[in-house]
């Protein structure tokens, strides 16, 4: 039996804004408010507002919190020690190196950390972390506490004008001094300069009851509501993976263009999956996740990628029409021997279309990352 879709505190607000709603990871969320392209462009050129309350905050605290998270996560939390308010992107893997989730963890102060988990993974992640903790520390050890936060929702205000508009709405000019991957906590709001669009912006974690007033104020300041459709085209242009599509538990970080989230520098740090990931790094992964720029046509998930000689190289994991670049782009898992710059073919409805292999991202902060005309000439 399928459970009824969960709704965010902004559900009625979305309907009032004319959203077309869709089921995503067990949540009913806006797909778009009329035009995905208009919403995508608003984020690239000005500012857009996403309700991402399906993503789940979880607080980890106590004298053992730091050491436990250094054990549970592939990236090293020690990087955050010196700076309260600093955030880190990381993968969480199982013993064989397969990715369980990707997440951002923020150091909130002495013995206080906050994780934000993907909607589809939140329940499994929570169970995994609690299970790990029982093995790692004694059961019921009061020096390590987990707290899920169903009371909190999340908004993402993204785009070149997002910071300025949010600072004005909150009357918080110091927000603009906040650097990327830093968090400012004020008056019950948790304001992180992070996002999933390839533009500047903030993710705002707030008590659910306050989301409506925040959304109304941002809308009045000219921020465009944006749905999941635009979120997907923005993140793919930004070369950012979607869990469950570009990576699953069958993929390691190295196979997913995320080897940089695996920190092996501290040789004394024992963490889940370390042995498998170190062995893979030493041997070199057999597959990798790359970008494709298409000459024409739009590649879709599952499209087969081949060499000009007809040798199968791999498969598209995400593909769409990139609204800002105005052409088909894709992420594809290819044999690791496929070099950047290789000319390949992608199968679309039975016909081969020419493409070039690039290192993601495709777009960052107002400009394309590749000279497309030259690459495809």
Binding range to other proteins, per CB under 8 A, among 7-15, 53-61, 116-124, 292-300:
292-300
Q: Is 300 in the site for other proteins (CB under 8 A)?
A: yes
Residue 229 binds other proteins, judged by CB under 8 A: yes
Piece of the chain touching other proteins by CB under 8 A; list 5-13, 29-37, 132-140, 179-187: 29-37
Considering only 25, 320, 325, 354, the residue that binds other proteins (CB under 8 A) is 320
Confirm or reject binding of residue 198 to other proteins (CB under 8 A).
Answer: no
Cβ–Cβ under 8 Å, residues 33 and 18:
yes
3-state secondary structure of 64: coil
Q: What residue ranges in 163-303 does DSSP mark as E strands?
A: 183-186, 189-192, 201-207, 224-225, 287-294
Short-list 246, 245, 280, CA closest to 262: 280
d(CA 252, CA 98): 5
- Is the separation of the CB atoms in 147 and 58 below 8 Å? yes
Q: Does 315 bind other proteins (CB under 8 A)?
A: no
Q: How many residues touch other proteins (CB under 8 A)?
A: 16
Query: Is the bond into 168 cis (omega within 30 degrees of 0)?
Result: no
Contact letters (x/-) for other proteins, 135-174, by CB under 8 A? Answer: ----------------------------------------
Nearer to other proteins, 265 or 349 (CB): 349
Q: Which of 89, 136, 181, 321 binds other proteins (CB under 8 A)?
A: 321
Choose the binding region for other proteins from 36-44, 173-181, 184-192, 194-202 (rule: CB under 8 A). Answer: 36-44
* Cβ-based neighbours of 232, under 8 Å, separated by 6 or more: 242, 320
Element (H, E) at 91: strand 87-93
Cα torsion 16, 18, 22, 23 to 10°: value is -10
Question: Of the two residues 32 and 274, which places its CB atom closer to other proteins in the complex?
Answer: 32
d(CA 106, CA 262): 17
Q: 33 vs 113, which CB is nearer to other proteins?
A: 33
Question: In this complex, which beta carbon is closest to other proteins, that of residue 179 or of residue 326?
Answer: 326
- Verify binding: residue 5, other proteins, rule CB under 8 A: no
- β partners of residue 49: 157, 225
Chain residues in the site for other proteins (CB under 8 A): 31-32, 35-37, 40, 229, 232-233, 297-298, 300, 320-321, 323, 349
């Amino acid at each position: 039996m399928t459970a009824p879709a969960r709704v965010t505190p902004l559900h009625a607000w979305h309907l009032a804004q004319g959203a077309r709603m869709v089921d995503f990871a067990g949540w009913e969320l806006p797909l778009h408010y009329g035009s995905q392209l208009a919403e995508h462009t608003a984020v690239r050129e000005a500012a857009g507002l996403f309700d991402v309350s399906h993503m789940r905050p979880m607080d980890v605290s106590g004298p053992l919190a730091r050491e436990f998270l250094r054990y549970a996560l592939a990236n090293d939390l020690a990087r955050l020690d010196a700076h309260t308010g600093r955030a880190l992107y990381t993968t969480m893997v199982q013993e064989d190196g397969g990715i369980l989730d990707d997440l951002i963890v923020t150091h909130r102060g002495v013995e206080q950390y906050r994780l934000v988990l993907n909607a589809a993974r939140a329940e499994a992640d929570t169970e995994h972390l609690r299970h790990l903790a029982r093995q790692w520390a004694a059961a019921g050890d009061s020096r390590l506490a987990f707290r899920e936060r169903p009371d909190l929702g999340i908004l993402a205000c993204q785009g070149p004008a997002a910071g300025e508009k949010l600072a004005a709405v909150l009357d918080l000019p110091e927000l603009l001094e906040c650097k990327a991957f830093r968090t400012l906590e004020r008056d019950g709001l948790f304001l992180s300069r992070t996002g999933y669009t390839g533009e500047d912006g903030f993710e705002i974690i707030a008590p659910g009851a306050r989301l409506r007033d925040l959304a109304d104020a941002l809308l009045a300041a000219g921020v465009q509501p944006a749905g999941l459709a635009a979120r997907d085209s923005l993140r793919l242009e930004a070369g950012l993976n979607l869990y469950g599509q570009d990576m699953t538990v069958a993929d390691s970080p190295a196979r997913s263009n995320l080897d940089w989230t695996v920190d092996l520098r501290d040789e004394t740090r024992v963490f889940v999956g370390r042995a498998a990931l170190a062995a893979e790094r030493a041997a070199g992964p057999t597959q990798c996740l790359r970008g494709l720029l298409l000459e024409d046509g739009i590649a879709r998930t599952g499209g087969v990628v081949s060499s000009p000689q007809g040798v199968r190289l791999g498969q598209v994991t995400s593909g769409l029409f990139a609204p800002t670049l105005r052409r088909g782009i894709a992420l594809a898992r290819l044999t690791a021997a496929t070099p950047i710059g290789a000319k390949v073919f992608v199968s679309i409805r039975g016909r081969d279309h020419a493409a070039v292999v690039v290192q993601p991202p495709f777009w960052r902060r107002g400009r394309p990352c590749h000279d497309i005309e030259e690459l495809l000439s």
